Structure 1
Amino acid sequence: MNDITLPKAVENFIAANNAHDATALAAVFGAGATVRDDGRTWAGGAEIRAWIQSHLIDPKVVITPTSFAGDRLVASGDGDFPGGPLSFAFVFGIEDDHVTELAIDLV
């Protein structure tokens, strides 16, 4: 991925997202995980699966990493949404190779 070294959980998140595989993407998240995106927070498996479908799978989002430092991935996101591609910052909380927290903001 552009010679950027990523934690396994982040690699899995990007690969499942870019394959548009909702099941694999949901499996990246640990029990009790939360996602903050678009000014809202999704918590737990059912809410995160709904977020995955509406925010990543349906618009066919493709994430292209540009940098990673600490817990923050900066990436280009493109898909079936207005204004793309856009730059996003994904801040990950990771435990045992699973995403426990994810916050997404425009850069």
Structure 2
Amino acid sequence: MDNVTLPKAVDDFVAATNAHDVNALAAVFGDEATVRDDGTTYVGEAEIREWIQAHLIDPKIVITPISFEGDRLVASGDGDFPGGPLSFAFVFGIEDDQVTDLTIDPV
């Protein structure tokens, strides 16, 4: 991550994910944010908190950024899931240093 410069919201997302801090991670998202991950869309704080717990905190995900260009972070994700580490593309919509939209796909 030393050579990858990230916008504040993306850096906060990575740091909170790697710290396994559900409250800090939820604070990265705007009130009406949308997350698309694993074929499901999560909208608003309650659904995104559930997604955070189930998809990032419980499996102890650690994200290692590989590159960031435009609005797309490519990163290695590892944790308590089969087949890891895996590479993912995180495409961020950001407004006022908060994530408004996030789409995650395998690379």
- Identify whether the pair has TM-score above 0.5, normalized to the shorter chain: yes
The one-letter code of the counterpart of 1:56 is L
Query: Equivalences for 1:2-81 in 2 at 5 Å?
Result: 2-81=2-81
Q: Secondary structure at the match of 1:36?
A: strand
Q: Displacement of 1:2 after TM fit?
A: 2.3
The CA deviation string for residues 4-45 of structure 1, in whole angstroms up to 9 with x for no partner, is: 111000000000000000000000000100000000000000
Partner of 2:84: 84
Inter-partner Cα distance in structure 2 for 1:9 and 1:70? 14
Residues of 1 paired with 2:92 and 2:2: CA distance? 19
The RMSD of aligned alpha carbons is 0.4
Could you report, residue by residue, the CA deviation over 1:65-101 in whole angstroms, capped at 9, with x for unpaired residues?
0000000000000000000000000000000000000
Give me the TM-score of the superposition, normalised by structure 2.
0.99
Q: What amino acid sits opposite 2:79 in the alignment?
A: G
Residue 92 of structure 2 aligns with an amino acid whose one-letter code is F
TM-score, length of structure 1 as denominator length: 0.99
SS where residue 24 of structure 1 aligns?
Answer: helix
Misfit runs of 4+, over 3 Å: none
- Give me the identity figure in percent: 78
Stretches of structure 1 lacking an aligned partner (at least 5 in a row): none
- Which structure 2 segments of 5+ residues have no match? none
Aligned residues: 107
